[in-house]
Chain A
Amino acid sequence: MEIVHVYTKKRNEFGRQCNFSDRPAELHVDILPDPSLASNFIERDPCDVPIQCTQEMSEHEVNTERFESDTRGINHVEGGWPKDVNPQEMEQTIRFRKKVEKDEHYFSTIMQLGSNMEHCIKQNNAINIYQEYFEEEEVVEESEEQPSAKTINVFRDPNEIKRTATCLSWHPDGSCKLAVAYSSLGFQNISPDMSYDSYIWDIENPNKPEMTLKPVSLLVCLEYNPKDSHILVGGSYNGQIAYWDTRKGSQPVEMSTIEHSHRDPVYKVIWLQSKTGTDTFSASTDGQVLWWDIRKMSEPTERLVLDPNKKGNLDNALGAISLEFETTMPTKFMVGTEQGLVVSCNRKAKTPAEKIVCTYSGHHGPIYALQRNPFFPKNFLTVADWTARIWSEDIKESSIMWTKYHMAYLSDGCWSPVRPSVFFTVKMDGTLDVWDFLFKQNDPTLSLKVCDEALYSLRVQDNGRFLACGSQLGTATLLEISPGLCTLQRNEKALATAMFERETKREKILEARHREMRLKERSRSEQSKDEDTKEGDGEESVEELATRTEAEFYEIVEAELKKRAKEQEKKEKDVCEEKEV
């Protein structure tokens, strides 16, 4: 039975303002009960109804609005003196005191209180009621606790227009401060009202940053000087480098000149090991790596163009997105490029051509993070596209270990400074992954959703316990990870060494095998070339190659989709079966 209500409206009345008016109730439809419909239903007898004789409770969660609190102290000033005594006058106060002391009541009170007090004092001296009776041994048994991470504090960008927290740097002594660089990495995404400030936060106080840094342009990266904790160097969006001294205020002490700076945003700046502690180097997507001495910022001290052909040609250069420098190996450094190559360089080379030692390829996208393992400097971690890979310096063709391809882009990663087999990565879907490859290699040991927006940066504190990650809306979250993930396990170093060696050996064998096969193919194709006169017989043309690859790609995608559909069907079928039963 269909109930239809029709009304008409003139075309020229469409969009007119509605004028409401009162009118009495009208009965439009009256549906009377139809007993014949009852034959569609069967009476159910008996009916099972669950009853519970308990208090009904419901669970509610409430999130309060952020409450800004400020700590203040009160200074007590002397008071309570009787009117005739002036508390500033020593004589009067002494006289008053002496008078009180002569009071009878005073004596008896003091005697009594004194005896009570003595009893308690002696008690304290006799037994320490908080004494540790069972001192724990040094070696803690293998705790089967679940690895976990807990958010301690969240530092939000105080500005209205939120910018991405692109770089974080911990204070070198004690790590009680966190410097966060805010910028907007989207192309031409900077609105005129966007504030350029970057902040230094005290980790105990998430309400207000401890200090503001005011650069000329948005800061993309920021680093504390490990030798001098008052100095920070920052690379900005317009290509300039600036350094701040926190004792001298919010303005940069000195900035590099525009003519000699980078032409693109400076993506990474690192302090170098030097006697003066004032050397840094910076990398940018314009293809240059520049060395600076912060005392003289008018010109870089050295320049390197990342031309893979080693000709110093800027047009050909690879754009640099990340830098790596380990103080234990001061002559070498590595650059991660936008094109997915890791370039290993030698600082001490005489000619620019010799500076670039070798390249490692294997990634499909820009390399957002590059770091050597603090315990095994020959192995380094790269984070790019949808995977994180671990490489050995000796193997240039491929990485020795890699994670599976994730659903979201990985944006940053770093090693744990205390455990050689643990590293952290953050993804664009807002999750933080903690990987422990001695425990599990296929999946992260711990995967935690930190926030709903993308995470762009990550930094672990030197004690390995705390880490901070920065998100797209400028929120820096401070997390504490469970002790199991930041205490060195027994044999961990030995096991990690063994694992690295094993994987390196495997890759070496594979490389050797590939080389053999290639040699065989080459010798075979040379033979066939002698027989055949046609040129380029064994090679397909570019178009054929393209169509073949396309077809293969679509095949793989379809197969995967089919597999997923099948799994989904199976799941639904299982659910249906359960319902029926």
Chain B
Amino acid sequence: MWIWPCGNTNPIKAEVEETLKRIQTHKGVIGTIVVNAEGIPIRTTLDNSTTVQYAGLLHQLTMKARSTVRDLDPQNDLTFLRIRSKKHEIMVAPDKEYLLIVIQNPSE
């Protein structure tokens, strides 16, 4: 008898869902995007065109920021990138393969 581990991934998957949902429901958060290493948006709460713009531009910016940090000190690495603008703040959490982007409107 085969017991398919069908329910195995569910709790982890549920946790991921929950994390993303929790992030999205924080005060001031406008949108959340998960992008993979090729720039493909995996998960997004914004509309498609905006997502594609953010994904493309921020991916390149993160690469540039990371290379800058490493050029200044080869033993250093980029852990987080925050871009504060007049209208909102864009936070990028980079990883080797994925990128988590959150757009938040702070404190107003």
A residues with a Cβ closer than 8 A to B are 76-82, 96-97, 100-102, 105-107, 109-118, 120-122, 124-125, 127-128, 130
- List 17 contacting pairs A-B, 8 Å CB cutoff, sorted by A: A78-B40, A80-B38, A80-B39, A97-B42, A101-B43, A102-B13, A107-B15, A109-B95, A110-B19, A110-B98, A117-B100, A118-B26, A120-B91, A121-B26, A121-B104, A122-B26, A124-B28
Asked if residues A114 and B43 are in contact (CB atoms below 8 Å), the reply is no
Q: For the complex, what is the distance from the CA of A266 to the CA of B27, rounded to whole Å?
A: 63
Complex interface: chain A residues within 8 A of B65 (CB):
none
Q: How far in angstroms is the closest Cβ of chain A from B38?
A: 4
Asked if residues B100 and A114 are in contact (CB atoms below 8 Å), the reply is yes
B residues with a Cβ closer than 8 A to A are 9, 12-13, 15-16, 19-20, 22-23, 26-29, 34, 36, 38-40, 42-43, 52-53, 55-57, 79-80, 82, 84, 89, 91, 93, 95, 97-98, 100, 102, 104, 106-107
Asked if residues B102 and A79 are in contact (CB atoms below 8 Å), the reply is no
Asked if residues B91 and A117 are in contact (CB atoms below 8 Å), the reply is yes
Per CB-CB distance, the 3 closest pairs between chain A and chain B, nearest first, are A80-B38, A76-B56, A113-B93
Q: For the complex, what is the distance from the CA of A116 to the CA of B101, rounded to whole Å?
A: 11
Residue of B nearest to A130 (CB): B84
Task: Indicate whether A125 sits within 8 Å of B107 (C-beta atoms), given known contacts A110-B100, A116-B80, A117-B91.
Answer: yes
Asked if residues A97 and B43 are in contact (CB atoms below 8 Å), the reply is yes
Q: How far in angstroms is the closest Cβ of chain A from B85?
A: 12
Complex interface: chain B residues within 8 A of A100 (CB):
36, 42
Complex interface: chain B residues within 8 A of A127 (CB):
107
Taking a contact as CB atoms closer than 8 A, the residue among A82, A105, A115, A116 that contacts B97 in the complex is A105
Residue of B nearest to A99 (CB): B42
Q: For the complex, what is the distance from the CA of A112 to the CA of B56, rounded to whole Å?
A: 23
Complex interface: chain B residues within 8 A of A122 (CB):
26
Complex interface: chain A residues within 8 A of B16 (CB):
101, 106-107, 110-111, 114
Asked if residues A111 and B106 are in contact (CB atoms below 8 Å), the reply is no
Complex interface: chain B residues within 8 A of A78 (CB):
40, 52
Asked if residues A107 and B12 are in contact (CB atoms below 8 Å), the reply is yes
Interface of B is mostly: mixed
Q: For the complex, what is the distance from the CA of A330 to the CA of B42, rounded to whole Å?
A: 67
Complex interface: chain A residues within 8 A of B39 (CB):
79-80
Q: How far in angstroms is the closest Cβ of chain A from B56?
A: 4
Asked if residues B100 and A113 are in contact (CB atoms below 8 Å), the reply is yes
Residue of B nearest to A106 (CB): B98
Q: For the complex, what is the distance from the CA of A80 to the CA of B97, rounded to whole Å?
A: 14
Taking a contact as CB atoms closer than 8 A, the residue among B13, B53, B82, B104 that contacts A107 in the complex is B13
Most buried by A among B22, B27, B102: B102
Asked if residues B106 and A128 are in contact (CB atoms below 8 Å), the reply is yes
Asked if residues B95 and A113 are in contact (CB atoms below 8 Å), the reply is yes
Most buried by A among B9, B20, B53, B98: B98
Q: For the complex, what is the distance from the CA of A539 to the CA of B19, rounded to whole Å?
A: 106
Asked if residues A125 and B52 are in contact (CB atoms below 8 Å), the reply is no
Asked if residues A120 and B12 are in contact (CB atoms below 8 Å), the reply is no
Task: Indicate whether A77 sits within 8 Å of B52 (C-beta atoms), given known contacts A113-B100, A125-B107.
Answer: yes
Asked if residues B15 and A120 are in contact (CB atoms below 8 Å), the reply is no
Q: For the complex, what is the distance from the CA of A96 to the CA of B13, rounded to whole Å?
A: 16
Q: For the complex, what is the distance from the CA of A231 to the CA of B97, rounded to whole Å?
A: 58
Q: How far in angstroms is the closest Cβ of chain A from B6?
A: 12
Taking a contact as CB atoms closer than 8 A, the residue among A76, A82, A117, A125 that contacts B28 in the complex is A125
Asked if residues B34 and A110 are in contact (CB atoms below 8 Å), the reply is yes
Q: How far in angstroms is the closest Cβ of chain A from B40?
A: 5
Complex interface: chain A residues within 8 A of B15 (CB):
107, 111
Q: For the complex, what is the distance from the CA of A113 to the CA of B39, rounded to whole Å?
A: 17
Task: Indicate whether A101 sits within 8 Å of B13 (C-beta atoms), given known contacts A80-B40, A110-B19.
Answer: yes
Most buried by B among A79, A102, A105, A117: A117
Q: For the complex, what is the distance from the CA of A80 to the CA of B42, rounded to whole Å?
A: 12
Task: Indicate whether A109 sits within 8 Å of B98 (C-beta atoms), given known contacts A101-B13, A121-B104.
Answer: yes
Complex interface: chain A residues within 8 A of B80 (CB):
116, 120
Residue of A nearest to B59 (CB): A80
Asked if residues B98 and A113 are in contact (CB atoms below 8 Å), the reply is yes
Q: How far in angstroms is the closest Cβ of chain A from B46?
A: 14
Asked if residues A124 and B98 are in contact (CB atoms below 8 Å), the reply is no
Q: How far in angstroms is the closest Cβ of chain A from B87?
A: 13
Q: For the complex, what is the distance from the CA of A101 to the CA of B98, rounded to whole Å?
A: 11
Task: Indicate whether A117 sits within 8 Å of B107 (C-beta atoms), given known contacts A76-B56, A80-B38, A110-B34.
Answer: no
